[in-house]
A = this chain, B = another copy of it.
């Protein structure tokens, strides 16, 4: 089944302890859709400027991503510049130039409106809501957000969450949004506001799933080198949603597997700058690392 993703397509300049990359392809919708493309059809809605090169468009097309919703407008593409120190869980933003992204008002093409799976990447919650108003009863709506919206538009975010099935945010944001230091309490608060399932991303510590009945903990894969964590969260969401859409199975057992597939995709993504690693994956590599996750977490029952 198809997934509609609405988010950003951007140029990133990134410095990590392992090197630097300037003006490379990035953006939440880019990472999400490339990751999900290994599992299912993806329909992308985003905005780019006149400076966006055809080669990047071709790269997304090659992954089979539907670009009917990728709009080129006068001006420059969204640019982000950031730095990571040895604590790779923490991005330090050096520059943000929203450019054409500042007037982004997502219009969902007619051919996308029946998408059974919808992922609202991190944008203004009012725009996320506008997307939902344009689509026909999806089977699953998932969304992400960030501290900027938690602080700036909490009411719009709370309204949105009433219409969201699966909410994916990071640990610090879960604490900030709920006002709870305990993630178990934070999860109760958040699930009470609408979502049936909450997934808390913890960077190199993995992810936690809450659904009000049970909890699931998935580790991150311990890697020799994490070259660049940029996009890991959206890549995770892409693998997660991709597997759910591929199987069409929304049972808790399948959501657990989907979280591991998300973790698998994120573990590849951080091995190189930009989408360098994500672009050249094989299904065999993905299945192989899934098995490594199985072994990584295995212990016998008593």
Contacts and interface: CB of A to CB of B under 8 A. Distances in A.
A183 interface: yes
B223 A182 contact: yes
Interface string A196-208: 0000001001101
A260 interface: yes
Contacts of A218: 299
A183 B260 CA distance: 21
A253 interface: yes
Chain A interface size range: 35 or more
Nearest to A243: B302
Interface stretch (A97-105, A118-126, A288-296): A288-296
Interface of A: 17, 86, 181-185, 202, 205-206, 208, 214-219, 222-226, 253, 256-257, 259-260, 287, 290-291, 294-302
Nearest to A203: B205
Contact of A215 (B185, B208, B296): B296
A222 B299 contact: no
A184 B300 contact: no
Nearest to A88: B181
